[in-house]
Amino acid sequence: MKKLLTFIVITAFISLNGSFAEEPTNNAGLPQGDTPEISLSNFEQKAGKHVGEEVLMEGMVVHVCKHGGKRMFLTGENTDARVKITKGDDMASFKPELRGSDVAVKGVVHVKEVDNAYLDEWEKDVRAEMKESKQKIHTGEEGHQEKEGEKEETLMKIKNMRKQLEESNKNVLTFYSLECKDYKEIK
């Protein structure tokens, strides 16, 4: 009776252990499961159908933000498409050495809609920061001259978005990005 009970326990353990098989992976080894894969070239067209959902994407890192590595941008072969990838809350910053590497990213699709009211508020905030910085420069506080260039760059970005909005004949510009949950370098 003890041998039979031992046999049943071992058989049950083996069958349970086999049910925890690894999740299927994509070419780069990221767990795929039922996660759809979207190519860079058609991300803009398909992203709207996957807002709030996880997707897989592969591409070459063309930029890693030097201020903290919170963002990187991917592009692919034979496409002008460029997708912004932001680091997830539980992730380390993206390393600058990733630039030029091919990566596979698993992330959640996010959407940002920009209209004139958004641009007005953004410009107002930037100009207020510039005014504050100029006051600090005049009082002798250091480090604010560098930020002035960044603020001018941001104002130029706002101006370009206003132009895009006008040329699009739409009330809103839509930008999609991925919040990275996991990524691997493709060797």
Whether residue 178 contacts residue 108, with contact meaning beta carbons closer than 8 Å, is answered with yes
Q: Average per-residue pLDDT in the chain?
A: 81
For residue 163, is it within any domain?
Answer: yes
End-to-end CA distance of the chain: 55
For residue 14, is it within any domain?
Answer: no
CB atoms within 10 A of CB 22: 6
Which has more confidence, 157 or 145? Answer: 157
Regarding whether 61 and 153 lie in a shared domain, the answer is no
pTM of the entire predicted model: 0.70
For residue 7, is it within any domain?
Answer: no
100 — alpha (psi -120 to 50), left (phi > 0) or beta?
A: left
Average pLDDT, integer, range 55-73: 92
For residue 61, is it within any domain?
Answer: yes
Band (pLDDT 50/70/90 cuts) for residue 107 is very high
Regarding whether 150 and 63 lie in a shared domain, the answer is no
Q: Reply yes or no on whether the pLDDT at 18 is more than 70.
A: no
Regarding whether 38 and 95 lie in a shared domain, the answer is yes
Regarding whether 181 and 90 lie in a shared domain, the answer is yes
Nearest alpha-carbon partner for 100 in 75, 122, 70:
75
* pLDDT score, position 99: 93
* Beta strand segments in the chain, E: 54-64, 71-75, 82-87, 102-114, 173-186
Regarding whether 156 and 181 lie in a shared domain, the answer is no
The residue segments making up the domain with residue 128 are 116-168
CA distance 107 to 95: 17
Map residue 56 onto helix, strand or coil. strand
Which has more confidence, 117 or 12? Answer: 117
Q: Reply yes or no on whether the pLDDT at 141 is more than 80.
A: no
Regarding whether 123 and 93 lie in a shared domain, the answer is no
Regarding whether 92 and 70 lie in a shared domain, the answer is yes
Q: Quote the number of domains for the chain.
A: 2
